[in-house]
């Protein structure tokens, strides 16, 4: 569906303006489908992201700042997302001995298991909803990085 039809307007300043709205809508669209798939696994997209980041270092632990620096949304409030993962026993949180200001977070076995299932749901839905070839995706990546002139 064209963005004109999604937003019910043709009132764009130019193609660049249209592209910015298209990026915002596509992001919303992705999150919407993603969260539907993850909900079946009892996770929100942000909880999933934190678990995915932790798996990348497992069995090592990560401090909150390290997790935050790998989040897509940089100002995510990682301590509060971790709060909810701790309640569900998907991660463990302990004070660091080397630097007592830090808390070290570890994904648990239960966390790994739930993440595994969630990842499968996600891959499955992505195969269904995404319509790009790898080569088109390459061009898209290049254009998005060009869009972000200053970073």
Q: Which residues bind a second copy (CB under 8 A)?
A: 1-3, 6-9, 11, 13-32, 56, 69-70, 72-75, 123, 126, 128-141, 143-151
Instruction: Name the site residues for DNA (rule: CB under 7 A).
Output: 28, 31-32, 35-36, 39, 44-47, 63-66, 68, 73-84, 93, 99-103
Could you say which of a second copy, DNA, none residue 36 binds, taking C-beta under 5 to 8 angstroms by partner kind?
Answer: DNA
Determine the angle formed by the axes of helices 45-57 and 15-39, rounding to 10 degrees.
80
Length of the chain: 151
- Give, in degrees to the nearest 5, the angle at Cα 23 between 22 and 24: 90
Q: How far is the CB of 87 from a second copy (least distance, A)?
A: 25
| CA 19 – CA 134 distance, rounded (Å) | 21
Q: Which is nearer to a second copy, 110 or 140 (CB)?
A: 140
69: DSSP letter: H
């Amino acid at each position: 569906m064209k963005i004109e039809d999604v937003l019910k307007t043709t009132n764009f300043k130019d193609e660049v303006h249209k592209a910015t709205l298209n990026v915002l809508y596509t992001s919303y669209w992705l999150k919407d489908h993603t969260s539907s798939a993850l909900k079946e696994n009892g996770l929100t997209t942000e909880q999933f992201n934190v678990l995915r980041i932790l798996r990348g270092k497992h069995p090592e632990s990560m401090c909150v700042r390290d997790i935050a620096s790998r989040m897509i949304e940089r100002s995510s409030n990682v301590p509060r997302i971790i709060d909810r993962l701790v309640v569900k026993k998907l991660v463990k949180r302990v004070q660091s001995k080397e630097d007592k200001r830090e808390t070290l977070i570890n994904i648990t076995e239960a966390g790994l298991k739930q993440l595994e299932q969630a990842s499968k749901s996600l891959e499955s839905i992505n195969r269904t909803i995404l319509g790009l070839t790898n080569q088109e995706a390459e061009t898209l990546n290049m254009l998005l990085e060009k869009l972000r002139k200053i970073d």
